[in-house]
Amino acid sequence: VTQTLDPIGAWRALLLAHSRAVRAIEQELLEADVISLAWYDVLLELNAAPDRELRMQDLALRAVLSRTRVSRVVTELETNELVMRVADPNDGRATLARITAAGRAALRKAAPFYLRGIDQHFNQYLTVTQQEAITNGLQRVINAHNADLDPRR
């Protein structure tokens, strides 16, 4: 029997799964008094970057945040001394966000809750094959968008 593929099946599944899982994980982090997904996301990218710093621009590209949103979140993190702003020595227009020691500590503290949440509310329900298909397939979607990303978002 030839099975016809629902043209919006994958899309709707993405929307719903995202909504449900994010909500559940955020809720759990809040109850455990752990930093939010947005903060975690930013700290994670900064920590993984060379010299543990990124231009605001590049941070927005890697993180799940718009460029203006990155400014706000970095300001919040700066207020809490988890991140510091540094002038870019190579380009006076640019600002670098750099994770602090306290930021790395916050990241380490949050990590187990975060990993547990992802597993409990997401990974647990996926086979290894499905996880791989999701990672590889969606990475292509991400690459395409990052490539022809309108300079301003």
Q: Closest CB to DNA among 1 and 33?
A: 33
Task: Determine the size of the site formed for DNA (CB under 7 A).
Answer: 27
Q: Which of 91, 126, 131, 149 is the binder for DNA (CB under 7 A)? A: 91
DSSP string, 11-77: HHHHHHHHHHHHHHHHHHHHHTT---HHHHHHHHHHHHSGGGEEEHHHHHHHSSS-HHHHHHHHHHH
Q: Which of 2, 7, 50, 93 is the binder for its own copies (CB under 8 A)? A: 7
Residue 18 site contact among DNA, its own copies, none (CB < 5 to 8 Å, cut-off depends on kind):
its own copies
Q: Which of 1, 92, 140, 151 is the binder for its own copies (CB under 8 A)? A: 140
Residue 105 site contact among its own copies, DNA, none (CB < 5 to 8 Å, cut-off depends on kind):
none
Q: What residue type is assigned to position 10 of the chain? A: A
Give 85's DSSP letter.
E
CA–chain centroid gap for 123, Å, is: 16
